[in-house]
Chain A
Amino acid sequence: GQQLNQSPQSMFIQEGEDVSMNCTSSSIFNTWLWYKQEPGEGPVLLIALYKAGELTSNGRLTAQFGITRKDSFLNISASIPSDVGIYFCAGQLSGGGSNYKLTFGKGTLLTVNP
C-alpha cells in the first residue's frame, strides 16, 4: 500500500520550543488526520482536516491542509514534557470510494527535554 512521507523522523527539543512536522504525498488526499501515540497505547486523534487550505487548532496544536491537497503540516507551540510521543499523519486518498481506508505516515518521534 501507499505510504505518506512524514518528516522529520525524530526531534529532540527543549521545553518551550515550537515544533513543526509535515507529511507529503504524490497523490491527492481529501482528508488529513493527525494522531499522537504514547508508548504502549493506541493513537489518539488530535486534529482532522477536510478542506484544502483549512487551518485548524486544538490548544497549542495547529494543523493545515495543504493547498495542493498533497501535504499537511502540524505545529506545536511552546512544547511541554507531556508532548512526548509519536505523531502520525494519516490521510484518505481522493477517489478512495466509501471504504474510508486511511494511509499512514511512519511517524515523528518527539522528545522534549525539561
Chain B
Amino acid sequence: DGGITQSPKYLFRKEGQNVTLSCEQNLNHDAMYWYRQDPGQGLRLIYYSQIVNDFQKGDIAEGYSVSREKKESFPLTVTSAQKNPTAFYLCAIGRYNEQFFGPGTRLTVL
C-alpha cells in the first residue's frame, strides 16, 4: 500500500520528556516536511528536507529536531525545550509545488 504513514495516531507524554514522531513514505519523493497545527490556525512549518542528510528550519523550529538518514523516513523529535508541545503534527511529501499530507499524529503533553 503506497503513501505516507505517521505513527502513532495519538501520543501522550509527560511534561519534560522528549518524544519522537514517525513519518515514512514509499513514494520515492525527495522533499519531506513537518507542520504543526493548532485549533483555528493554519499549518506552520517546523522543518523540511529536500534531500537525504540535509534539512532546514522552518518558521517554528525552536524546541524541535529532525533527521533524514533515509529517503523514506523523516522523524521529528519534540524536545522538552518546546514550551507548548500539545498539537496536531502533520508530515508531508513534496512533488514540485504540490504537497501531500499524512494522516497526522495528535500529541498531548500532560
Instruction: Write the residues of chain A forming the contact surface with B, with a CB cutoff of 8 angstroms.
Output: 1, 3-4, 6, 30-31, 33, 35, 40-45, 48, 50, 88, 90, 92, 98-102, 104-107
Complex contact B42–A99 (CB within 8 A): no
Total interface residues on B, using CB and 8 Å?
Answer: 27
| A interface secondary structure, majority | loop
Q: Which of B31, B40, B90 contacts A100 (CB 8 A)?
A: B31
Complex contact A105–B42 (CB within 8 A): yes
Q: With A1-B59, A40-B104, A99-B50 known to touch, is A48 a contact of B41 (CB < 8 Å)? A: no
Complex contact A99–B102 (CB within 8 A): no
Q: Which of B42, B58, B97, B104 contacts A42 (CB 8 A)?
A: B104
Complex contact B97–A100 (CB within 8 A): yes
B1 at the interface (CB under 8 A from A): no
Q: Which residues of the partner chain B approach A105 to less than 8 Å between Cβ atoms? A: 42
Complex contact B104–A1 (CB within 8 A): no
Complex contact A88–B42 (CB within 8 A): yes
Instruction: Write the residues of chain B forming the contact surface with A, with a CB cutoff of 8 angstroms.
Output: 4, 6, 31, 40-45, 48, 50, 56, 58-59, 90, 92, 94, 96-104, 106
Q: Which residues of the partner chain B approach A1 to less than 8 Å between Cβ atoms? A: 44-45, 58-59
A106 to B41, CA, bound (A): 5
Complex contact A104–B42 (CB within 8 A): yes
Q: Which of B4, B31, B48, B98 contacts A45 (CB 8 A)?
A: B98
Complex contact B90–A43 (CB within 8 A): yes
